[in-house]
Structure 1
Amino acid sequence: MIIKVLLLILFFSVMLFIGFQCRKNSTDVNGFVLGGRSVGPWVTAFAYGTSYFSAVIFVGYAGQFGWKYGIAATWVGIGNALLGSLLAWVVLGRRTRIMTQHLGSATMPQFFAERFGGKSLKIAASIITFIFLIPYTASLYNGLSRLFGMAFNIDYSVCVVVMAVLTGIYVIAGGYMATAINDFIQGIIMLIGITAVVLSVLGSQGGFLASLDGLARISDETVSSQPGVFASFFGPDPLNLLGVVILTSLGTWGLPQMVQKFYAIRSERAISKGTMVSTFFAFVVAGGCYFLGGFGRLFSDRVDIAVGGYDSIIPAMLSGLPDFLIAVVVILVLSASMSTLSSLVLTSSSTLTLDLLKDHVVKDMNEKKQLLIMRILIVVFVAISVVIAIVQYKQNITFIAQLMGVSWGALAGAFLAPFLYGLYFKGTSKAAVWCSFVFSTVVMLANMFFRPSFPTLLQSPINAGAFCMIAGLVIVPVVSLFTPKPDKELVDKAFACYNKEVKVHQSTSLTDEEVA
């Protein structure tokens, strides 16, 4: 217990110290929201990865989908690394950095307003962001409840409040730079922690081959009559597994808290290096989480799904580990949750302040007042998420995965296609952007309140979210063909940034004279 407490005190002390050290970088809006657009590759890559993977992944998704699909759940982690990290950086990274700086946008709603014209898009995007980031923020705490109960026997409400207060303090003090640097440290903890946990859990079952053999011997007639299905390549339900891969991988392309990491990158070289680092991080952390969850059925004697739900699986798998490793796991999940929470509350507060309140509700909002309002809203968002998390836990309303599925589906479904086409396709119309916004929010809200009325495949919020993302990629170009063309001057102004001539180092490009 002493080791656990000391590690927690050390962890929190470092987080707070960094927060206060970064105060000098958060004296203006650009510094507070984007770190002055001068963040290096390692810090950006880890900020991206730690915002991506939280307790929702480690406890909620890894447990639920490992139980449902067995070792095939590892495909989700692989998809997260290749589609959610590698391809996202390659396709979005540099174009996002170039165009957002050119347009002077610090948030995703600002980008929509500047790229497509009109304040109405900015207001709509900020409202969607605010509404659907809150349940996702609340879901972050849930993964901590069982782990802290297992490690410290502390009431869940106390865990939630302490984590929220400490996260709020360092975000309010240091803004984006404090969040990014803390993300880097938390990312290192996550890399070491997940590796140690996977090796220890498999070791407790006799090693990898023995664990795989044990998994192959497990059968569940309610899932599949095929023997050894939980140790098979694609598992018992490949179609629904694909839905999980799409939601958790493609979803990052449209989530404001993820895409805004690209706004802050320092240079071209930082993008190249950040792409590799982020992909490696995702392979280890996401791949490790889902790989670990795939062996959950080996611990069925400790798990009662009917009573504890899927969120009890991972804590049950870890309960037999030595005290030191349990302490590492607690710090690992705290790191994952606090890094994502800090990113979400910073995104929510900056979006609401800059896109909804400024010039619409509060006139003549100077920079000092903007910073003050953002800091106040961080407190408000943290408080709301804490209340929702505690109420949800006490009432046992839904699983972690469902909360995250609704949030990701609505946000990424609404924003992914307009943002992607906005960077590449000059013909994207304003009406098409509106269609994407309305379609995904309506579908996900309907899924939340009228789920039984949906087709069987789309009753799951995860599949419904994946459907919204794919549908958006079709809706935007099709609607753009049949609606009024965008203003040519506006489009030319936005895409002029790609035509600007710049000098580069010889390591990047050889001149014609030297080739000759």
Structure 2
Amino acid sequence: MTGNTGIIVAFVVYMALMLGIGVLCYKKSNSLSDYLLGGRGLNSWVAAMSAQASDMSGWLLMGLPGAVYAFGTGQIWIAVGLGIGTVLNWSIVASRLRRYTIKAGDSLTLPEYFENRFRDKSRVLRMASAVFIIIFFTVYSASAFVSGGKLFSTVFGIDYQVALLIGVLIILAYTFLGGFLAVCWTDFVQGLLMLVAILAVPILACMAVGGVSEVGEALNGVSPTFLDPLKETNGQNTSFISIISQLAWALGYFGMPHILVRFMAIKDQRSVKKSRIIAIVWVIISLTCAVFVGIIGRAFVTGLYDPANGVADQESIFIRTIQKLFIEPGAFVPVAIIGGLFLCGILAAIMSTADSQLLVTASSLSSDIYKVAIDKKASDKKLLWVSRIAVLAVAVVAYFIARDPKSSIMDLVSNAWSGFGSTFGPLVLFSLFWKKTTRSGALAGMIGGGLTVIVWDYIPMMPGADGLVNLGVGTGLYSIIPGFLISSLLIVVFSLVGKGPSQDMVEEFQEVALNKGDS
């Protein structure tokens, strides 16, 4: 029996467990509230682990370690930014957003909350929100599918297209069946598995190299500045724009629907406080270890990044490290099973984000578009099935985007992260903390922020070495910075120049701010 047998055993057991949770939760999802928010009954551990597992995705175990592996510790500022963003999101947004969504008509989705918060009878705000969610989450889901395809292809040596299809079908199955409850419980299991894997692998790899000093010597041979976060591997100083752009990832958290919806679903205020501590500890440990995977991996596995020879397979460093530690040819099955479980940690990271993204996109299609524009009298049961069908539809589109095996996980995640952060981040903050925010300001800020990212990242308009390039490439500035600033400016300007908020909006805002009637 070979190491591959052990990997197959680990993967089959893991995926069977995820599908089992989906079937179990299917029986408990009897209403739209159950399917989209789990009946607002998440306990502290499930809410925290689910929020962070759905946050990090395959990017945590593939994209971030790959960036550090290829370009050195000058890439750690993204991790620092994400750590700051997590702390701020749980500290200032979670509790108040939960209270406000309950007060504002018991809103089940972020677009519904915006509509109720700003008394938008035209429903334009809700529809525009849903459109942006569908656009950016389809790209985001595609990044998770790419991660899954690369994982199965690398581990099992199968064609990327076949590997991609396998990953998509597994994620679809339990998301389609169990909805939010299944997603959160699978995310809880997956978050624990991710944590174990990312803690153990860099420690074991460091021991295999021979210790910290040996790792340092090997990295010095790669580049004397590899371990200097203020320098590039070519010896040049890391630019101010590069550091600010990486730290700006923190801004994205305020606009992530799949993370914010976890805040909305926590069962009570006491659970929010406990969840905050769990989530912050989890994310600090995970991001730190992910960086060390890239650092130690560069000393342990060579040859994954050599642009001079057209080699850029750095995003597979976590997979290659596990294979070298546990699954070299001839490995005993029990040892390979352990390696297989660590590889399942990568699959867990991928699945825990993709399922959440599919579900939030489906909720926007069913609750914010179908019910608003197509069938205003749709029953709860009908909307439940529309949501399930929407999960399938979005997955199909994301699958076709992900079919290119050369797709970069880092690029896809970066674009979607910026899109959400700029479209919804400022609006979430202003809606929660500035009582003068109006419907006009909300709509202008949302559209302005979303369009800024689309223009910045996708429309060539600056001269480059090989012709016109987009503003992101030309300036080196991450699109979330201009997007967030423009959105914030538009919210303030349009809120101040137009008709102010109604009296009942102001009273509702004050009740939420004073924490009246909450448990």
With the length of structure 2 as denominator, give the TM-score of the two structures: 0.88
Q: For residue 129 of structure 1, report the CA deviation from its aligned partner.
A: 0.5
2:21 aligns with one of 15, 18, 23: 18
Match of 2:333 in 1: none
1:456-475 counterparts in 2 under 5 A?
Answer: 459=474, 463-475=478-490
| Alpha-carbon separation, structure 2, partners of 1:401 and 1:233 | 19
Q: For residue 170 of structure 1, report the CA deviation from its aligned partner.
A: 1.3
Asked if the contact 2:127–2:368 (Cα under 8 Å) also holds between the matched residues in 1, the reply is yes
Structure 2 residue matching 1:143: 3-state secondary structure: helix
1:161 aligns with one of 133, 150, 165: 165
2:506 aligns with one of 491, 506, 509: 491
| Alpha-carbon separation, structure 2, partners of 1:500 and 1:276 | 21
Structure 1 residue matching 2:325: 3-state secondary structure: coil
Q: For residue 410 of structure 1, report the CA deviation from its aligned partner.
A: 1.4
Amino acid at match of 1:472: S
Q: Percent identity?
A: 24
Mean Cα deviation higher: 468-477 or 92-101: 468-477
| Alpha-carbon separation, structure 1, partners of 2:364 and 2:70 | 37
Match of 2:132 in 1: 128
1:222-261 counterparts in 2 under 5 A?
Answer: 228-236=224-232, 237=238, 239=240, 240-247=242-249, 249-261=250-262
List runs of 5+ in structure 2 lacking aligned partners. Answer: 233-237, 328-335, 463-468
Asked if the contact 1:448–1:461 (Cα under 8 Å) also holds between the matched residues in 2, the reply is no
Match of 2:185 in 1: 181
Q: Confirm whether residue 304 of structure 1 aligns to residue 306 of structure 2.
A: yes
Amino acid at match of 1:438: I
Structure 2 residue matching 1:26: 3-state secondary structure: coil
Asked if the contact 1:67–1:296 (Cα under 8 Å) also holds between the matched residues in 2, the reply is no
| Alpha-carbon separation, structure 1, partners of 2:229 and 2:457 | 32
Structure 1's 203 and 459: CA in aligned 2 closer, same or farther, altered over 3 A?
farther
Tell me the alpha carbon deviations over residues 232-263 of structure 1, each in whole angstroms, 9 at most, x when there is no partner.
Answer: 2434325313312322x321210111111100
Q: For residue 24 of structure 1, report the CA deviation from its aligned partner.
A: 3.3
1:58-457 counterparts in 2 under 5 A?
Answer: 58-68=61-71, 70-81=72-83, 83-103=84-104, 104-118=106-120, 119-219=123-223, 228-236=224-232, 237=238, 239=240, 240-247=242-249, 249-295=250-296, 297-298=298-299, 299-305=301-307, 306-323=310-327, 324=336, 326-390=339-403, 392-393=404-405, 396=406, 398-451=407-460, 453=462
Asked if the contact 1:447–1:459 (Cα under 8 Å) also holds between the matched residues in 2, the reply is no
Asked if the contact 1:66–1:73 (Cα under 8 Å) also holds between the matched residues in 2, the reply is no
| Alpha-carbon separation, structure 2, partners of 1:354 and 1:214 | 55
Structure 2 residue matching 1:428: 3-state secondary structure: coil
Mean Cα deviation higher: 130-139 or 495-504: 495-504
| Alpha-carbon separation, structure 1, partners of 2:385 and 2:92 | 35
| Alpha-carbon separation, structure 2, partners of 1:500 and 1:146 | 47
Q: For residue 177 of structure 1, report the CA deviation from its aligned partner.
A: 1.0
Q: For residue 34 of structure 1, report the CA deviation from its aligned partner.
A: 0.5
Amino acid at match of 1:19: G
Tell me the alpha carbon deviations over residues 204-236 of structure 1, each in whole angstroms, 9 at most, x when there is no partner.
Answer: 3322333134323433xxxxxxxx322124343
Structure 2 residue matching 1:230: 3-state secondary structure: coil
| Alpha-carbon separation, structure 2, partners of 1:456 and 1:127 | 24
Kindly report the root-mean-square deviation, in angstroms, between the aligned alpha carbons of the 2 structures.
Answer: 2.4
| Alpha-carbon separation, structure 2, partners of 1:503 and 1:475 | 32
| Alpha-carbon separation, structure 2, partners of 1:309 and 1:99 | 45
| Alpha-carbon separation, structure 1, partners of 2:210 and 2:217 | 10
Amino acid at match of 1:131: I
Structure 2 residue matching 1:484: 3-state secondary structure: coil
Q: For residue 372 of structure 1, report the CA deviation from its aligned partner.
A: 0.8
Match of 1:510 in 2: none
| Alpha-carbon separation, structure 1, partners of 2:461 and 2:297 | 29
Tell me the alpha carbon deviations over residues 278-317 of structure 1, each in whole angstroms, 9 at most, x when there is no partner.
Answer: 0111112222112322345434434334333543454444
Match of 1:32 in 2: 35
Amino acid at match of 1:381: V
Asked if the contact 1:353–1:374 (Cα under 8 Å) also holds between the matched residues in 2, the reply is yes
Asked if the contact 2:457–2:470 (Cα under 8 Å) also holds between the matched residues in 1, the reply is no
Asked if the contact 2:202–2:296 (Cα under 8 Å) also holds between the matched residues in 1, the reply is no
Asked if the contact 1:98–1:498 (Cα under 8 Å) also holds between the matched residues in 2, the reply is no
Structure 1's 315 and 129: CA in aligned 2 closer, same or farther, altered over 3 A?
same
| Alpha-carbon separation, structure 2, partners of 1:78 and 1:441 | 25
Match of 2:492 in 1: 477
Structure 2 residue matching 1:294: 3-state secondary structure: helix
Q: For residue 203 of structure 1, report the CA deviation from its aligned partner.
A: 2.4
| Alpha-carbon separation, structure 2, partners of 1:403 and 1:309 | 16
> Number of matched residues?
489
Q: Confirm whether residue 8 of structure 1 aligns to residue 23 of structure 2.
A: no
Q: For residue 73 of structure 1, report the CA deviation from its aligned partner.
A: 3.3
| Alpha-carbon separation, structure 2, partners of 1:114 and 1:365 | 19
List runs of 5+ in structure 1 lacking aligned partners. Answer: 220-227, 505-516
Q: For residue 460 of structure 1, report the CA deviation from its aligned partner.
A: 7.3
Q: For residue 386 of structure 1, report the CA deviation from its aligned partner.
A: 1.6
Structure 1's 399 and 302: CA in aligned 2 closer, same or farther, altered over 3 A?
closer
| Alpha-carbon separation, structure 1, partners of 2:67 and 2:460 | 20
Match of 1:513 in 2: none
| Alpha-carbon separation, structure 2, partners of 1:78 and 1:488 | 41
| Alpha-carbon separation, structure 2, partners of 1:408 and 1:503 | 32
Structure 1's 58 and 470: CA in aligned 2 closer, same or farther, altered over 3 A?
farther
Amino acid at match of 1:195: L
Asked if the contact 2:452–2:482 (Cα under 8 Å) also holds between the matched residues in 1, the reply is no
